[in-house]
Structure 1
Amino acid sequence: MRDLLIRLDGTGPIQQQVYGGIYAALEDGRLALGQRLPASRTWALQLGVSRNTIREATAALIAEGWLETRVGAGLFVRAIPAPVSSPANSAAAPLRLSEWSERLPVSTFVLARKDVDVDFRPGVVSNDAEQLFRRKRLARWPSDLEPAALSEYGPPEGDIRLRERIAAYLRQSRAVRCTAADIVITTGTHQSLDLLSRLLLGAGTTFAIEDPGFPVVAEIMRLSGSELASLQVDDQGINVDDIPPGIAGLYCTPNHQFPLGVTLSPQRRKALIARAAKEGFVIIEDDYDCEFYYGTMPSPCLQSEDENQRVIYLGSLSKTLAPGFRLGFIVAPPWLLDRLKCAKWIVDRQTSTHVQNSLLQFIVSGDFASHLSSMRLEYEKRHTALLEAIRERLHTWLTPLSSTCGLHISTRVNDGFDTNALCRIADEEGVGIYRGDTFSCHGRASDILVFGFGGTSTQQIMKGVGLLAAAWQGEDQAVRLT
């Protein structure tokens, strides 16, 4: 019974002590309903008592209905006593949590899943991407490359071989100015933002965010004690003139704004970089899904235009491979790098060596490049199908915003139509579309509807748009503003 931590407390008859120990194990969950108990000989040896003592104690528990004997099988738990709550000690000192804990939101942002036949949920990747990755990552390691040992700790910034590969990829695909030494591997964008908020912000600081935007950014930055300044987004991205003076930093998605999908205009890009240099704030650039572009390549990242080390570049594998892979990275300017590596070591030690090994194998084998090419073709088909379907069948109600990359398309509800009615009817028809103001701190973008296509096949796209067109046409008066 040592594995159940049943102890004889030395008070009262031995039989009663054994009975009390078993009953306590039933009450606090150490013994589960239906669990088989050890033989009386085993119990007697473990507790140093006679087998008769064990039999008498368990006989009482059987009589009370807690245990039962099954012929040829042994003794089993039949029922569990209801837990007895202990009254609070009014004299006990109150427990206090930190100010950080008090800043935690009542509930964290999770985009609610819809019980629908066709779901245009943003932020989802294709099942094809996951299955392709699962198959190809099982390939043998190249003969000239050995996986990092799982029995040892690695550097907090990540395996140098993986960082070299990521740096080469970023230089080629996104024009990022970096070497392996500038990169810190994280467990994804959430951790990247958390580390940066700890290093850059605190009480008395102000941090600017896009609105609408990625809601988790606001939650993380608010936890640091920083005040938030929300910047409205239009068809050219954030308006640089609206940035308040004295901010410590700013988060943006310049090449595919989330959720509107627009690109920060060249004039505003230059103005943003110039203001950051002049006023001394940092820009956190999240380049979250620009690997997938359709037609012309997206603009180089904002970091590539920065001459004053103001831009911190974030990336992840959530869209390229799958959200559950949990690997991201920060490209940090030299003035931040040492503190960032130290922070990563303190709060997380290192990103999983197994995950790093898997990605390194995937890249070196050539499977990453072929995977990216395959998924780019697949997502381009979906992007084209969705865009054409919206323009051809939903143009009465919606106008798509300009977007040439990423895994979602946003649309503006045309004048004269009721966004609430359009969404209500879509839900009734079993089609999941998502409102732009879901991602806003101040209810902005209430006339925006977001269509994610990463997890929606071409066939499902056509079915969903067809259902919307028929339903909205049939409810013409209901979807119009009165």
Structure 2
Amino acid sequence: MIDLLIELGDNGPMQQRVYEGIYAALRDGRLKPGQRLPASRVWALELGVARNTIREATTALIAEGWLEARAGSGLFVRPQPALHSKVEAALTSARAASGQLSLSAWAGQLPQALPELPSSSLVVDFRPGVVSSDAERLFRYRRPAQSRDAVTAALCQYGDPAGELPLRQRIAAYLRQSRSVRCGPDDIVVTSGMHQSMDLLCRLLLEPGRSLAVEDPGYPVIGHAAKLAGAALCHIGVDDNGLKVDEVPSRIAGVYCTPNHQFPLGVALSGSRRRELLDRAAREDFFVIEDDYDCEFYHGAAPSRCLQAEDAAQRVIYVGSVSKILAPALRIGYIVAPPWLRDSLHRAKWVVDRQTSSYAQNALLAIMSSGDFATHLHRMRFEYGKRRTALLDGIGTRLRQYVVALASTCGMHVAARITNGCDARTLCRLAEAEGVGIYEGNQFSSTGSASDILVFAFGRTGAAEIERGLELIEKAWASRRTADALRGP
């Protein structure tokens, strides 16, 4: 059944006006073949006419071959091939004409292509950015953290643009305890994920004529958000000690970095560079966006405390999300805003989307309040540790003549450097031919600085799958018929 607006003319008997209204909807394609019409009783109430009037008008259309009555099912539109082909042609022509309209300069800065979704044809996919499905049971069985009446009220009205206070209190307590972040609930703004966090910050802090320094290789979304704000990008190299702070130019507006677990190389910013970055930010008056990427899942010793905890000048803006801990689809992130940014950030969040979903916020609050969040985090830290060990062992035994894994202490992926001059794109293509997805480091670089890097993630890949995937990669790379291809250009 469909809802359909029928326009009734002002002249003539009501039956004729209803007939002409339905006929017009059939002619212009609003009513399509096979669609079921509303029941005469319902339609009569909606149009404010007698039920018999609807029946008389539709009876005439049945007689003319426009409609058909199906016993026990109702009234349906009959196929009219010639008519509907003309309607589709008219719509296509209208779309083509509308395509000639010009878009804004903002639209011109959008990425030319969106990332590809995971392929269902792969036997094993080492794709970064996906996580284990273990968190599903938390959402399935956990009751709301608030009473049913409170949840109903939250769903029926708008909330605080910064996020629900009980959730901000939980997030602040978690960040203070786990990452030494200096914050209270008033410093937290709950966002709809990392993408929105960066969009908000770039809109507030960047504009044409300003520049943002970003890691290269690094997280591509950051560059897109900065460009959409009209800013220029400065791509800064990364080595074994993290971001090369001495390469950050003067007169910069800000720096984005992942100091404790750089993406995708996995290195940590050294102590001397951390101090240099903070000193320069204070002295040269630029901001630092600290993305504490994947530090919840550390392997061995805990990572250094966050950069924000060492920032006396309040130049660091700390960002994070629960996408990797729980689920990307939950779409909840957070910004820890310094005092000078807080009020503007609240107002910007209100304008952009009013608030992050109260339903999603309450689901996260329930998980954090119950203790399930901490339990899940510890369990997954252990599970990801097993997967990481399996991956490192497999790379070291099966793929050692091609790549060497880079050292890292956190996260859900391993970066590996190609050691024998093979071409990264060819290696990925050969692996894909055997049903295994691995990923070039250069897809995360704008300068080609990661041409010898491959990325293996294990968020959604268990130990047995890892072993199977590496076995297939070894088979693909070792095949005599691919030996020439592996040598690269």
Shift of 1:327: 0.7
Check conservation: 1:14, 1:53, Cα contact below 8 A: no
Deviation at 1:110? 4.7
| SS of residue paired to 1:478 | helix
Match among 147, 153, 160 for residue 149 of structure 1: 153
More off after superposition, 74-83 vs 208-217: 74-83
2:58, 2:67 within 8 Å by CA — same for their partners in 1?
no
Deviations 1:126-179 (Å, cap 9, x if unpaired)? 112x323224523x6489x96583133322212222222211211111111112
Residue type of the alignment partner of 1:100: W
Preserved CA contact (<8 Å) 1:182 1:332: yes
Q: Deviations over 1:240-275 (max 9, x none)?
A: 121122111111111111111111122221111111
Q: Which moved more, 1:314-323 or 1:69-78?
A: 69-78
Q: Which of 232, 247, 254 is the matching residue for 1:242?
A: 247
Structure 1 counterpart of 2:61, one-letter code: T
Structure 2 residue corresponding to 1:54, chosen from 54, 57, 60: 57
Quick one: which amino acid aligns to residue 415 of structure 1? N
Is 1:175–2:180 an aligned residue pair? Answer: yes
1:102 corresponds to which of 90, 108, 122: 108
Q: In structure 2, which of residues 469, 477, 481 is the aligned counterpart of residue 464 of structure 1?
A: 469
Could you tell me which runs of 5 or more consecutive residues in structure 2 were left unpaired when the two chains were aligned: none
Q: 1:42 to 1:257 in 2, by over 3 A?
A: closer
Q: Secondary structure at the match of 2:7?
A: coil
Flag the 1:385–1:209 CA change in 2: closer, same or farther, 3 A. Answer: same
- 2:308 is equivalent to residue 303 of structure 1: yes
Contact 2:167 2:361 in 1 (8 A): yes
User: 2 CA distance for matches of 1:38 and 1:424?
Assistant: 53
Aligned to 1:408: 413
Q: TM-score, normalised by structure 1?
A: 0.90
Shift of 1:442: 2.6
- Summarize the alignment of residues 279-428 of structure 1 with structure 2, pairs less than 5 Å apart: 279-428=284-433
Distance 1:38 1:149, change over 3 A: closer
- Which residue of structure 1 aligns with residue 198 of structure 2? 193
- Deviation of 1:39 after TM superposition, in Å, equals 5.9
Paired AA for residue 79 in structure 1: P
Cα separation, 2, equivalents of 1:337 and 1:274: 23
Match of 1:436 among 438, 441, 462: 441
Q: Tell me, yes or no, if structure 1 residue 79 matches structure 2 residue 82.
A: no
Does the Cα contact within 8 Å between 1:15 and 1:57 map onto a contact in 2?
Answer: no
Secondary structure of the residue that 2:421 maps to in structure 1?
Answer: coil
Which residues of 2 match residues 98-137 of structure 1 at below 5 A? 98-110=104-116, 113=119, 115-128=121-134, 130-137=135-142
- Could you tell me which amino acid in structure 1 is paired with residue 62 of structure 2? A
Quick one: structure 1 residues 253 and 4, their matched pair in 2 at CA, closer, same or farther if it must change by over 3 Å?
same
> Residue 229 of structure 1: CA displacement?
1.2
- Equivalent-residue separation in structure 2 for 1:162 and 1:449 (angstroms): 38
Report the CA distance shift for 1:2/1:108 in structure 2 as closer, same or farther (over 3 A). Answer: closer
Cα offsets for 1:298-339 (capped at 9, x unmatched):
111111121111110001010010000111111111111111
Aligned to 1:68: 68
Under a length normalisation based on structure 2, what TM-score does the superposition of the two structures give? 0.88
Deviating more after overlay: 27-36 vs 430-439: 27-36
Compute the displacement of 1:419 (Å): 2.1
User: Relative to structure 1, is the Cα distance of residues 432 and 6 closer, same or farther in structure 2, using a 3 angstrom cutoff?
Assistant: same
Q: Do structure 1's residue 479 and structure 2's residue 482 form an aligned pair?
A: no
CA contact (8 A) 2:15 2:53 kept: no
Alpha-carbon offset, residue 75 of structure 1: 2.8
Query: Cα 1:9–1:106, aligned 2, differ >3 Å: closer, same or farther?
Result: farther
Contact kept in structure 1, 2:31 and 2:77, CA below 8 Å: yes
Contact between 1:141 and 1:361, CA under 8 Å: does it hold in 2? yes
Residues in 1 aligned to 2:424 and 2:63: alpha-carbon distance in whole angstroms? 67
The CA distance in 2 between the partners of 1:105 and 1:378, in whole Å, is 36
Q: Percent identity?
A: 55
User: For 1:318 and 1:52, how far apart are their aligned partners in 2?
Assistant: 55
Aligned pair count reads 474
User: Could you tell me how far 1:374 is from its partner in structure 2?
Assistant: 0.9
Is residue 23 from structure 1 mapped to residue 26 from structure 2 by the alignment? no
Partner residue in 2 for 1:36: 36
Superposition RMSD in Å: 3.0
Distance 1:365 1:392, change over 3 A: same
Whole-Å Cα distance in 2 between the matches of residues 52 and 149 of structure 1?
43
Superposed CA deviations along residues 444-474 of structure 1, whole A, max 9, x for unmatched, are: 3011100010011111000001111222222
Over 3 Å counting, the alpha-carbon distance change for 1:52 and 1:120 in structure 2 is closer
Letter in 2 for 1:433: I
The alpha carbon displacement at 1:400 in A equals 0.6
Q: Could you tell me whether the CA contact under 8 Å between 2:423 and 2:486 is conserved in 1?
A: yes
Q: Which residue of 1 aligns with 2:4?
A: 4
